Chains A and B, each alone.
Chain A
Amino acid sequence: MFPLRAIINACVALRIHPNILTFVGVLINVAAAVALATNRFILAGVIMIVANIFDFIDGKVAVLLGAVSKFGGFWDSVNDRFSDIALFIGLIYLYSHLGRTDYVMVASLAMMFSIMTSYARARAESLIAKCKVGFMERPERIVLFMIGAFTNRMAAVLWVILVLSIFTVADRVIHTYRELRQDAREALA
């Protein structure tokens, strides 16, 4: 895609380190969270698109600059969590400001289970080879956030994220249990 290629080429020409691009993406997501907190959903959606451009290009720039590193992957994951939490906090602030404790709880639980999906996979993959099960991963979450922001259907989006994140965490726990049990059986045989 031309605009993205132009941005990537500009970053490579300026030799901008991919880890800086990752961090800039988080800062832009914080701006999106502020827009969500102040009930400006369309603006938040636009800012989220810009933030995710940074999230998309950092890996490509790293490859082109020959700056791919294990730390870069780790930094990217940590910053992704900050971005996710920032967006949820924006919504929690908004619902709190509107006096809607019910949706403060929905958003808080959705945030908790969204973080747990990532944690469950990271911890599982320290024990087993792969734990890529469950529907609700970060790309799905981000696209849903944008749909909710652009079409003003954030409540429905939060319910979807909450329910499917609970399922995803459960999937990962069950999958890890099965894999470890299988390993234990093979070790005994």
Chain B
Amino acid sequence: MKRSPATLPARILWNAFFWTYERASWQYDVMVIAILAFVWLVPPDWLKDPTAHGSGPVGWILDRLR
């Protein structure tokens, strides 16, 4: 059965939500990269982090672009 390309983002989201992949899979690596990007790139100020301050790498880039 041929799937419509419009369903691809929905399938990606569903597979990310309903996680059944093993640790040694490329999907796992992509998830880890996404998590590390969130942890390290999102400015602590955006999250109102109680122990870290500053705008982080994303804030630094946005400041340079302004």
Nearest-Cβ distance from residue B35 to partner chain A, whole angstroms: 5
Tell whether A133 pairs with B20 under 8 Å between CB atoms, given A144-B35, A148-B39, A156-B39.
yes
List of A residues within 8 angstroms of B38 by Cβ: 156, 159-160
Tell whether A95 pairs with B42 under 8 Å between CB atoms, given A135-B31, A160-B35.
no
Interface of A is mostly: helix
Q: Taking the complex as formed, is A39 at the interface, i.e. its CB lies under 8 A from any CB of chain B?
A: yes
Q: Taking the complex as formed, is A93 at the interface, i.e. its CB lies under 8 A from any CB of chain B?
A: no
Tell whether A155 pairs with B52 under 8 Å between CB atoms, given A144-B35, A160-B35.
yes
Q: Which of B38-66 contact A (CB under 8 A)?
A: 38-40, 42, 44, 47-52
Q: Taking the complex as formed, is A153 at the interface, i.e. its CB lies under 8 A from any CB of chain B?
A: yes
Q: Taking the complex as formed, is A126 at the interface, i.e. its CB lies under 8 A from any CB of chain B?
A: no
Are B49 and A134 neighbours in the complex by a CB distance under 8 Å? no
Interface of B is mostly: loop
Are B17 and A155 neighbours in the complex by a CB distance under 8 Å? no
Nearest-Cβ distance from residue A109 to partner chain B, whole angstroms: 15
Are A167 and B19 neighbours in the complex by a CB distance under 8 Å? yes
Cα(A155)–Cα(B39), bound, Å: 9
Cα(A22)–Cα(B38), bound, Å: 33
List of A residues within 8 angstroms of B39 by Cβ: 144, 147-148, 151, 153, 156-157, 160
Residue in contact with A152 in the complex, picked from B35, B42, B47, B52, CB distance below 8 Å: B52
Are A102 and B48 neighbours in the complex by a CB distance under 8 Å? yes
Q: Which residue of A lies closest to B41 (CB)?
A: A156
Nearest-Cβ distance from residue A128 to partner chain B, whole angstroms: 14
Are A168 and B49 neighbours in the complex by a CB distance under 8 Å? no
Nearest-Cβ distance from residue A168 to partner chain B, whole angstroms: 7
Sampled A-B contacts (11; CB under 8 Å): A135-B31, A144-B35, A147-B39, A153-B44, A153-B52, A154-B49, A155-B51, A156-B40, A157-B39, A160-B35, A174-B18
